[in-house]
């Protein structure tokens, strides 16, 4: 086996002595041969199973020749839109075009189409009429059945129908992709591959479909949003590989989309094998002239230690994609990879992250999940930790100790986020101590998301008192260690359930904290989340209760402005919101007020200063560029692609209580 990048053109194939690829992988991302990229994992896994695999990265979707560069594959095409849904990659929550694509050489925007998976598949089908097409990745996985599409503001078909593909491999895909490849290689027609877990297929008859739940038809869901809410919750309750049922979504009398149960989670040994494959660990050298691929910067010196998340936040799609059962790599595998990092010429001694969707989840939530799966109608941490939850950080502590003891390693950071409620559920505080002492760089980012319990309940997040308890314990631990370190909270505006009163409650909390975020995350309705279902239908699919949903752009702007009420540019929006909510008591000169009144005369400035008072309406002291209270400025989590993270200023100033 040649240890090099996989072929991207005929010349590369000739070097390997290939006349034809077995599979061609078409990706919306540039070719980065690193296990943080789905296309790298799938192609290397297929290679390890003896298949000849080539890659077409970011083909020109307007030119059929771009899909012919490797010729027709012997067995089929695998297609993915990339590491992100192409629409999230292209547009902000306000539907404005982004300026940079971090998964493209030089960060250039426009190298992939909107709805990339659909466009690529239709391009392939226009050139190769009968070749099997299998789609996967986050875009296909979250659009595998009928789904609300925020950008077109309508209910869309299963992506399997619009793309003309033959099969979807949903979820992480390692098991199903190998089974699909082996089935095709054995001579089974793609239309007869209907038996593999973790796949979705089309059929004209249900005669051979057994033990299935029938969802509302696409027509019924389009007519009645409540039907979609009911359908969504059935899907959500069948995402577990041990208890999930086969699902059938009718479209017409002779067209059905069938979702097989999810694939079983990988064992630790299987995870190790996936991450021990011979990756080149960098972007393809052909991109060097364009400045490389920006996304590599954040992940090149990071370690993926787990996948899956039993936190199950309502606005997160992980339940639909990776599932709720935690899968982990062994210490030996992670230490071996860390040693590889230390040999890189540009390694500076810092491992940027050791984690996954949630860094401190290193085992299933309870023993039962290993054999019976996650509870279909209950959550592990919400509304409070389950009595069967095994909250134990000892394995993670041991792993971090091994990594930071390696030669050449100066510091090991944790940046992929921790669950503060899980930290508190652990009766030991050893992890909190070691986290503060060794793994924080002045600021720890956590995600309370909001402070109003009414909103938190819709988010699937713990009550605000839990976050307040963590803030206290974090502060006390740092004081005990003699360290000055701060918390940076991620906050979200306009989530379903949040009206102006709840947005004002959040603003008052920030006032009391003495902190104003530099940027704010507005709720982004991405496909296949509980929150998106609420946004589209106006109902919580878990309870079928009616939910207030802020959809008006102006109200959403007011909610965002309230979180940044000190910014003079937001004055009019904040004033309007307070008046509309009947909270004019927060307009004045008292310390509890959010903004000061404006006068038409009498020397009152447009910035809202009281006559003779030199304090700007922004709440900053003249000459002091720090946020009020000296709280460190927060980064926008937004929907920004990985690799576009901003550095946060490290502010060593006492936070107001």
**Tens of pLDDT along 252-272?**
889 999 999 999 999 999 999
User: Is 237 found in the same domain as 375?
Assistant: no
Beta strand 545-546 with 147-149: parallel, antiparallel or unpaired?
unpaired
User: Is 221 found in the same domain as 121?
Assistant: yes
In a domain, 506, yes or no: no
3-state secondary structure 386-446: CCCCCCCCHHHHHHHHHHHCCCCCCEECCCCCCCHHHHHHCCCCHHHHHHHHHCCCCEEEE
**Residue 625: pLDDT over 80:** no
State how far the Cα of 32 lies from the Cα of 279, in Å rounded to an integer: 9
Asked if residue 216 lies in contact with residue 175, where contact means CB atoms within 8 angstroms, the answer is: no
Closest CA to 353 of 421, 291, 399, 293: 399
Question: Can you say which residues are annotated as belonging to the binding site for [4Fe-4S] cluster?
Answer: 309, 313, 316
pLDDT of residue 629: 28
Domain boundary among 203, 236, 259: 259
What is the rounded end-to-end Cα distance, in angstroms, of the chain? 61
User: Is 343 found in the same domain as 247?
Assistant: no
The alpha carbon of residue 500 and the mean position of all alpha carbons in its chain are separated, in whole angstroms, by 27
Q: Which residues contact 280 (CB under 8 A, 6 or more apart)?
A: 3, 4, 5, 33, 34
Q: What percent of the chain has pLDDT over 70?
A: 91
More confident residue, 178 or 601: 178
User: Is 335 found in the same domain as 236?
Assistant: no
In a domain, 484, yes or no: no
Asked if residue 559 lies in contact with residue 498, where contact means CB atoms within 8 angstroms, the answer is: yes
pLDDT of residue 366: 93
How many domains are contained in the chain? 2
DSSP 69-100: TT---SSEEEEE--SS-HHHHHB-TT-PBPS-
State how far the Cα of 59 lies from the Cα of 36, in Å rounded to an integer: 21
Asked if residue 562 lies in contact with residue 522, where contact means CB atoms within 8 angstroms, the answer is: no
More confident residue, 648 or 121: 121
Averaged pLDDT for residues 176-180: 98
Domain boundary among 229, 259, 289: 259
State how far the Cα of 168 lies from the Cα of 532, in Å rounded to an integer: 22
pLDDT of residue 600: 57
Return the percent helix, strand and coil in the chain, to nearest 5. 35, 15, 50
Question: Can you say which residues are annotated as belonging to the binding site?
Answer: 309, 313, 316
User: Is 221 found in the same domain as 103?
Assistant: yes
pLDDT of residue 645: 38
In a domain, 529, yes or no: no
Closest CA to 396 of 351, 355, 350, 446: 355
User: Is 324 found in the same domain as 206?
Assistant: no
pLDDT of residue 210: 87
Structure tokens at 222: 């389009």
Enter the DSSP assignment of 564: T
**Residue 605: pLDDT over 90:** no
pTM: 0.89
* Longest CA pairwise span in the chain (Å): 86
In a domain, 355, yes or no: yes
User: Is 213 found in the same domain as 156?
Assistant: yes
In a domain, 621, yes or no: no
In a 3-state reduction of DSSP, which class is residue 594? coil
pLDDT of residue 623: 33
In a domain, 105, yes or no: yes
Task: Give the chain's mean pLDDT.
Answer: 90
User: Is 110 found in the same domain as 208?
Assistant: yes
In a domain, 571, yes or no: no
Enter the DSSP assignment of 181: H
Residue 24, domain extent? 10-259
State how far the Cα of 398 lies from the Cα of 289, in Å rounded to an integer: 42
Asked if residue 352 lies in contact with residue 302, where contact means CB atoms within 8 angstroms, the answer is: yes
Q: Which residues contact 53 (CB under 8 A, 6 or more apart)?
A: 6, 21, 22, 23, 24, 25, 43, 46, 47
Whether cis (ω within 30° of 0) applies to the bond prior to 236 is no
pLDDT of residue 1: 64
Domain boundary among 441, 464, 486: 441
User: Is 145 found in the same domain as 71?
Assistant: yes
User: Is 215 found in the same domain as 83?
Assistant: yes
Categorise residue 36: left if φ over 0, alpha if ψ from -120 to 50, beta otherwise. Answer: alpha
Instruction: Tally DSSP H helices, then E strands, for the chain.
Output: 23, 24
User: Is 316 found in the same domain as 251?
Assistant: no
How confident is the model over 90-100, as pLDDT tens digits?
A: 999 999 999 99
Q: What residues form DSSP beta bridges with 328?
A: 306
Averaged pLDDT for residues 454-464: 96
Helix extents (H) in 135-196: 137-142, 159-163, 174-185
pLDDT of residue 642: 39
Angle of helix 331-342 versus helix 268-275 axis, rounded to 10: 20
In a domain, 425, yes or no: yes
Q: Which CATH number belongs to the domain containing residue 365 in this structure?
A: 3.30.750.210
State how far the Cα of 608 lies from the Cα of 568, in Å rounded to an integer: 8
Closest CA to 651 of 446, 441, 474, 471: 441
**Distances in whole angstroms, Cα of residue 176 to Cα of each of 134, 170, 346:** 11, 8, 37
User: Is 328 found in the same domain as 234?
Assistant: no
Taken in order 575, 577, 582, 585, the sign of the CA dihedral is negative
Enter the DSSP assignment of 114: T
State how far the Cα of 270 lies from the Cα of 50, in Å rounded to an integer: 17
Strands (E), 253-401: 255-259, 282-283, 302-304, 306-307, 327-328, 350-351, 353-355
Q: Which CATH number belongs to the domain containing residue 166 in this structure?
A: 3.40.50.280
Asked if residue 230 lies in contact with residue 541, where contact means CB atoms within 8 angstroms, the answer is: yes
Q: What percent of the chain has pLDDT over 90?
A: 86
């Amino acid at each position: 086996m040649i240890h090099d990048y996989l072929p991207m053109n005929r010349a590369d194939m000739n070097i390997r002595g290939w006349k034809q690829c077995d599979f061609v992988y078409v990706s919306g991302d540039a070719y980065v041969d690193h296990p943080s990229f789905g296309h790298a994992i799938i192609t290397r896994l297929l290679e390890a199973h003896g298949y000849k695999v080539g890659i077409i990265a970011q083909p020109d979707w307007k030119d059929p020749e771009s899909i012919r560069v490797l010729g027709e594959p012997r067995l089929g095409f695998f297609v993915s839109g990339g590491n992100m849904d192409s629409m999230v990659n292209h547009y902000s929550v306000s539907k404005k075009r982004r300026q940079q694509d971090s998964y493209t050489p030089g960060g250039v925007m426009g190298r992939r189409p909107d709805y990339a998976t659909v466009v690529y598949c239709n391009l392939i089908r226009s050139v190769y009429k009968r070749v099997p097409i299998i789609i996967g990745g986050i875009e296909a996985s979250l659009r595998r059945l009928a789904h609300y599409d925020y950008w077109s503001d309508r209910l869309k078909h299963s992506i399997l129908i619009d793309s003309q593909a033959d099969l979807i491999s949903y979820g992480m895909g390692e098991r199903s992709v190998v089974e699909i490849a082996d089935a095709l290689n054995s001579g089974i027609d793609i239309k007869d591959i209907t038996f593999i877990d973790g796949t979705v297929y089309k059929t004209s008859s249900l005669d051979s479909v057994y033990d299935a739940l029938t969802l509302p038809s696409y027509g019924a869901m389009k007519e009645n949003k409540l039907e979609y809410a009911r359908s969504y919750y059935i899907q959500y309750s069948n995402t577990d590989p041990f208890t999930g049922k086969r699902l059938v979504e009718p479209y017409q009398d002779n067209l059905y989309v069938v979702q097989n149960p999810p694939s079983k989670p990988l064992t630790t040994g299987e995870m190790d094998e996936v991450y021990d494959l011979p990756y080149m660990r960098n972007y393809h050298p052909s991109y060097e002239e364009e400045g490389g691929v920006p996304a590599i910067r954040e992940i090149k010196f990071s370690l993926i230690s787990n996948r899956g998340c039993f936190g199950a936040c309502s606005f997160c799609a992980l339940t639909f994609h990776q599932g709720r059962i935690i899968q982990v790599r062994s210490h030996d595998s992670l230490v071996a990879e860390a040693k590889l990092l230390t040999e890189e010429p540009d390694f500076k001694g810092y491992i940027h992250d050791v984690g996954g969707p949630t860094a401190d989840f290193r085992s299933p939530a309870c023993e039962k999940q290993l054999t019976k799966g996650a509870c279909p109608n209950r959550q592990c941490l919400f509304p409070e930790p389950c009595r069967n939850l095994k909250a134990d950080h000892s394995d993670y502590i041991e792993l971090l100790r091994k990594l930071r003891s390696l030669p050449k390693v100066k510091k090991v950071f944790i940046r992929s986020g921790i669950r503060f409620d899980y930290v508190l559920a652990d009766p030991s505080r050893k992890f909190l101590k070691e986290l503060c002492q060794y793994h924080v760089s002045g600021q720890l980012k956590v995600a309370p998301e909001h402070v109003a319990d009414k909103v938190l309940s819709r988010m699937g997040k713990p009550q605000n008192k839990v976050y307040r308890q963590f803030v206290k314990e974090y502060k006390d631990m740092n004081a005990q260690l003699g360290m000055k370190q701060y918390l940076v909270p991620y906050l979200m505006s306009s989530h379903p359930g949040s009206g102006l009163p709840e947005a004002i409650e959040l603003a008052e909390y920030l006032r009391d904290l003495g902190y104003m975020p530099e940027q704010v995350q507005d709720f982004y309705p991405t496909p296949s989340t509980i929150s998106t279902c609420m946004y589209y239908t106006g109902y919580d699919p878990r309870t079928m209760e009616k939910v207030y949903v802020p959809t008006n752009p102006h109200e959403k702007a007011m909610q965002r402005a309230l979180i940044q009420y000190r910014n003079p540019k937001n004055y009019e929006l904040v004033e309007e919101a307070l008046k509309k909510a009947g909270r004019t008591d927060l307009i004045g000169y008292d310390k509890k007020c959010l903004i000061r009144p404006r006068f038409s005369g009498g020397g009152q400035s447009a910035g809202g200063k009281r006559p003779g008072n030199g304090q700007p309406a922004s709440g900053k002291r003249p000459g002091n560029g720090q946020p009020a209270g000296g709280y460190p400025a927060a980064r926008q989590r937004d929907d920004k692609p990985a690799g576009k993270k901003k550095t946060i200023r490290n502010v060593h100033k006492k936070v107001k209580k």
